[in-house]
């Protein structure tokens, strides 16, 4: 967790947005595992918004689009895991429909 927090601090100043949100995603995974579901959910929501916007940018190379699609779907999945841990089945149903 300490290493992800350090990476999070360094990532705030990077211009590589994919790396930044990849770190946010992994930090969210650890936070969710440790029981900080609300904090993890906020990180995943930010990741979802970023990866969705990047996926819709068709000017990028196909591999970047693919990586952003994977990031989008993985963020969506982790949001479902967070909601499951919090017992919010209604939110889970709506996210499954989106997926």
pTM given for the model: 0.88
How many distinct structural domains can be found in the chain? 1
Is residue 30 within 8 A of residue 4, CB to CB? The reply is: yes
Q: What is the DSSP string of 26-90?
A: HHHHHHHHHT-HHHHHHHHHHHHHHHHHHHT-TTS-HHHHHHHHHHHHHHHHHHHHHHHHHT-HH
Residue from 43, 93, 41, 50 nearest 70 by CA: 50
The answer to whether residue 98 scores a pLDDT higher than 90 is: no
User: What is the C-alpha separation between 60 and 86, in angstroms, rounded?
Assistant: 37
* Domain housing 12: 2-98
**pLDDT tens digits, 24-42:** 999 999 999 999 999 999 9
């Amino acid at each position: 967790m300490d290493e992800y927090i350090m990476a999070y601090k360094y990532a705030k100043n990077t211009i590589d947005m994919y790396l930044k949100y990849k770190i946010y995603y992994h930090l969210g995974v650890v936070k969710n595992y440790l029981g900080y579901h609300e904090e993890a959910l906020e990180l995943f929501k930010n990741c979802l918004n970023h990866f969705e916007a990047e996926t819709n940018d068709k000017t990028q190379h196909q591999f970047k689009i693919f990586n952003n699609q994977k990031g989008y779907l993985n963020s969506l999945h982790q949001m479902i895991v967070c909601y499951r841990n919090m017992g919010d089945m209604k939110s889970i149903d709506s996210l499954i429909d989106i997926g």
